[in-house]
Structure 1
Amino acid sequence: MSQAELRNDGARPAVRLERELADPPAVVWRAITEREQLRAWFPCDVEVAGGVWEVGATITFDFGAEMSEMTLTGEVFAADEPKLLVFSWGEERLRFELTPQGSGTHLVLIDELAPDAAARNAAGWDGCLDRLAGLEPGNWQSRFDAYAATFEPVLGPQSGPPTT
């Protein structure tokens, strides 16, 4: 696992995470775009209208019965298989960059978000990307606490997990 980095040089703050994955970009692309594969690591069910990740496609993010009041929508802004995928996730914007590295992939995830969501999302994405890499996710609360201590002086108080 690598530490998430806070970026505060754009219109909105962002967290940037990286992972080295054993699979080549074409395989990782399927893991980040195919609904069944997304279910193994993404925090919710993802349904793209028409089933095709193309610019302008709408996306529904369903968090299930446990968080029934939390369904988000999004839109695809860029889809350059197997290199770049950019889409909105509610009010946030997610950017996945895939670069070949040896026989594997260097993955970069950038999440542009509300200032108070940085520590929560960095901790959450750490766990998600660990699952994508085939690793057991670490403790969310300890990751959140560490990120909150780092991000609060720059962004202000950090919100914990969403409540239902």
Structure 2
Amino acid sequence: MTQAELRTDGARPVVRLERQLADPPSVVWQAITERAQLRAWFPCDVLVAGGVWEVGTSITFDFGPEMGEMTLTGEVFEVDEPNLLAFSWGEERLRFHLTPHGSGTHFVLTDELPPDAAARNAAGWDDCLDRLAGLEPGDWQSRFNAYAATFEPLVGPQSGPPTA
């Protein structure tokens, strides 16, 4: 695991996470854009209108019955295959930046979010990115507690997981 960083120099806080992945950007790109591969690591099912990641395309995020049938919507903002993908995820904005690093990929995820979601999302993205890297996820609650202790002085009280 690599520690998430909280940036507070913009209009909204941004959680930033990095990973070194063994696969080249072209392979990682498939993992972040193909529905079947996203299901293996992303926290919900991702349905891209028309099945093509293009600027302006709408996206539906289905969390299924375990989250009370919660769904979010979004829109694609940037696509530069296989280097950059950015889209909204409900009221958040996600950005995936892939850079060649040796035979693998330097992977950076940023999540622009409401202040009270920083620790929850950092802990969740840690788990997701562990799965993306082929690792067993860690203990979410321990990660959340550590992030909350670090982030609360910067952005205020932190919310726990959503309730179904």
* TM, length-normalised to structure 2: 0.99
Counterparts of 1:3-152 in structure 2, within 5 Å, are: 3-152=3-152
Q: Secondary structure at the match of 1:137?
A: coil
Q: Secondary structure at the match of 2:130?
A: helix
Q: Secondary structure at the match of 1:42?
A: coil
Structure 1 counterpart of 2:113, which letter? L
Q: Secondary structure at the match of 1:123?
A: helix
Q: Secondary structure at the match of 1:125?
A: helix
Q: Distance in 2 between matches of 1:90 and 1:132?
A: 22
TM-superposed deviation, 1:69 = 4.1
CA contact (8 A) 2:12 2:113 kept: yes
Q: Secondary structure at the match of 2:154?
A: helix
Q: Secondary structure at the match of 1:11?
A: coil
Query: Which consecutive residues of structure 1, in runs of 5 or more, have no partner in the other structure?
Result: none
Q: Percent identity?
A: 84
Q: Distance in 2 between matches of 1:112 and 1:94?
A: 7
Q: How big is each residue's C-alpha offset from its partner over 1:47-105, in whole Å with a ceiling of 9 and x where there is no partner?
A: 00000000000000000011234100000000100000000000000000000000000
Q: Secondary structure at the match of 1:2?
A: coil
Q: Secondary structure at the match of 1:160?
A: coil
**RMSD over aligned Cα atoms:** 0.5
* TM, length-normalised to structure 1: 0.99
